[in-house]
Amino acid sequence: MGGIVSSMNDLDTLPKRLQYLSEEDPNKELYVFYNRSVRDSYTSRELFILAGRFAHRLRQQGFQKGDVIANTLPNSPERLITDVGIIMAGCVAMNGQAVLADGSDFFQSAKVSRCGAVIMADEGSGWQLLHKFLKNEKNDEMLSPLSVKEAPELKWAIIISRRNQNLLQDLKTKSQEMFVCPLDTEDVVVVLTTSGSTGYSKLVPRTHREIIVVSVCRSAMISPDVEWAESREKQFLFYSDRMMGWTADHSFYTLCQAETRVMLDLFSKPPGRDIYVEMWEALEAERCKMCTLLLPELEHLMESLRMPSGPKNKLKLIITGAQPYRKSQLKKFFNFSDNVYVVYGSTEVCYMSGKYAKEESYTSNNCGHAVNGMILKVCRDNGEQCQANETGTIFAKGQYVFRGYFNLLEKPTQDSAVFTPGGWFNTEDYGFFNDEGDLHVFGRLKDVIMYGPTVFYPGWMEKRLAEHPDIVDAFIVPVTDPVLYQNICAHVRVKKDSHLSQDELRDYCDAIFLSEASPGLITKPKYFIITKEDFPTTLTGKTDKQFLKRKAEELFGCGAKL
């Protein structure tokens, strides 16, 4: 893209880019929110002023450069203003993922990052988890004291409401000072959360430089020729409901590339609200021709709109990924769009490979060539590189790879568990390159379940299940799923006198998670197998997990449903 974006190339931090936009193109709409057909837009100038005012408030309350502030707000104008305000204050915005009812996932992230404050709504999952830790007294109209034993440095809550003391309205209507902290390109701007083997989040830091570099990569990889790039710049708005804080590019791509993003306002979700109908109405109202969409969302969209064969007026482009796609699954995207771009990436790397899929020639699990700036290789267990069409572990090296997990208790280092001595990142995915150099990805090597866009480590769930008084032992195994790639089956052995039913076990699993958490983040068993017999064992005396997987697949997998 040219024009104003080209002139921003020397601006090496997000606040610099936003300030430049606010001065050179102040009326440029950067974000457009829809809430039940009500349109709410934010220009570059409005965003710069409102975020700067919030940044000033943070500094008045004593927050300093480098302080970590978790944000649990859903996609909304409030999430946008507070995220950008945190950054303009010189602080670090952390995605405050909260899914487990006991808060162990969120508190682990808060402790490791030495998070000092959390932003939350006065409703929803953040409130459900944290309101019981609020002290009765209030510091002022903005800060409420917190006391959390599991995260001792988490001292403050910033409670955002649309009913009382409306922060957004206050920032808009009152004349207030602004603050913009001087920042360096290598300062950490955001900490992203991703799943780990313990069930808690691992923390991935991203600097201003990394965010900007990744955004440039994204713009280049979906513009294969000049004609397409020019047409995008003239008329195509981009719709994306990816969660703010989900990945490096989706959080701040708009600030880096000045490309309008359309999305839903999800601050509150009253009963009966069909967000997929709203999503399509917003797409049509803004005449969006580009959209980020994952397969589970596409299935919901087809169901809500009752159009399995797609709309009359197709989109120009759908960007998708997050799970391996079979050819039959990808065909559904072509009912909604003329072009489908399949991308392979991760929180730690962002983009690794991608390609424009052709409906007639696409092969299952094909994720295309490595994107510019990345080198990929597939290796055997002994470290030797695989030949074409030989399956092995995928390794990545390049400018989009993170430099180590974020931990202010220890200096970030290149963890030997994920980096080779030569600096290659071990994706822990397996796949192969075909003769044309396209990477085919099959999923995870270990006992990890690819649950749609979520990587689910079953170990912590097995431990939780084993805490039930009737359960002697428990294993979580995957079953193939036509939409999610893999779904989840709990295989449990109960006491001889137990009368535990599947419904009771399902209720027990539901209670582990926050009831108000986003459904897209909750990975819990859909299927259950309850037995009083001992699990079969291998010759070495270990539980035969392959047998348990085969049994679950026979009962619940794709083949069992045909």
Q: What is the pLDDT of residue 200?
A: 54
Sheet-wide strand order for 425-433: 374-379, 392-398, 425-433, 439-444
Q: What per-residue confidence (pLDDT) applies to 249?
A: 65
Provide long-range contacts, Cβ within 8 A and 24+ apart, for 102-106.
102/512, 103/129, 103/130, 103/150, 104/150, 104/199, 104/200, 105/199, 105/200, 105/201, 106/70, 106/72, 106/201
Nearest-CA neighbor of 99 among 463, 475, 516? 516
Mean pLDDT by 10 residues, the chain (562 residues): 66 94 95 94 97 96 96 94 97 88 88 94 87 74 88 94 84 90 95 70 89 83 56 67 77 86 90 89 92 88 86 89 83 91 91 90 91 94 94 94 80 63 91 94 81 82 89 92 91 93 93 73 88 81 83 85 50
CA angle 293, 296, 300 (to 5 degrees): 95
User: What pLDDT is attached to residue 535?
Assistant: 87
Q: Which two tokens stand for residue 174?
A: 């009152």
Whether the CB-CB separation of 457 and 424 falls below 8 Å is answered with no
Cα(335)–Cα(312) distance, rounded to whole angstroms? 9
Q: What share of the chain is helix, strand, coil (3-state, %, to 5)?
A: 30, 25, 45
Output the pLDDT for position 495: 92
CA distances from 88 to 15, 48, 58, 260 (A): 6, 9, 10, 20
Contact between residue 56 and residue 104 where contact means Cβ atoms under 8 Å apart: no
Q: How many beta carbons lie within 10 A of that of residue 11, not counting itself?
A: 18
A 10 A CB-CB count for 549 gives 18
- pTM value? 0.88
Q: What angle, rounded to 10 degrees, do the helices at 248-257 and 14-24 form?
A: 30
8 Å CB contact between 240 and 185? no
Q: How confident is the model at residue 226, as a pLDDT?
A: 41
Give the residue among 259, 202, 214, 200 at the shortest CA–CA distance from 232.
Answer: 259
CA dihedral 40, 46, 52, 58 (to 10 degrees): -20
Strands (E), 92-240: 92-95, 117-121, 143-145, 156-160, 188-195, 201-207, 238-239
Angle between helices 14-24 and 44-60 (to 10 degrees): 130
Q: What is the pLDDT of residue 540?
A: 61
CA distance 121 to 126: 7
447: number of Cβ within 10 Å? 17
